[in-house]
Amino acid sequence: MAAKVPIRAVFDGSTATGLAEFQSTEFIALAYGGLGASLSIGSAGQVLKVNSGADALEFGAVEAILNIDGMTDGSGITIADSDKFAASDGGTEKYVLASQIKTYAGS
């Protein structure tokens, strides 16, 4: 793969004065507004994200993200022992059951 410098098409009337053609293995470098990589379309359910080295883009699984501000009001619900609550255990997202919280709060 080779990084390319983009040239936009500029027209003078009906005559193109600048064109760019890229092959499927070529890409536009980050410094010129590109992705910095030649990417496929990914697979179903994947998202484009920054890799763990924070130096390139990659396709990966969708991470579960809780948006507390966007949730509906649940103050009128009846909490059952089998209801699940989200918890972050040292950076790993897990769920705990309401019965576990009840046991913890009662101790």
pLDDT of residue 6: 57
Same structural domain, 44 and 73: no
Same domain as 80, residue 56: no
Residues 54 and 84 in one domain: no
Residues 38 and 85 in one domain: no
40 and 85 together in one domain? no
How does pLDDT run along the chain (107 residues), one tens digit per residue? 566 655 556 677 887 666 556 666 667 777 777 766 666 678 888 888 888 888 878 888 877 667 777 788 888 999 999 999 988 788 788 899 999 999 999 97
Give me the pLDDT at residue 97, please.
95
- Give which of 56, 48, 47 is closest to 1, Cα–Cα: 56
Assign 46 to helix, strand or coil. Answer: strand
Q: Name the token pair of 10.
A: 């500029």
Counting the structural domains of the chain, the total is: 2
Regarding pTM above 0.95, the answer is: no
CA distances to 35, 56, 94 from 50, rounded to whole Å, are 11, 6, 23
Owning domain of residue 101: 68-106
| Model pLDDT, residue 17 | 67
pLDDT at 43: 85
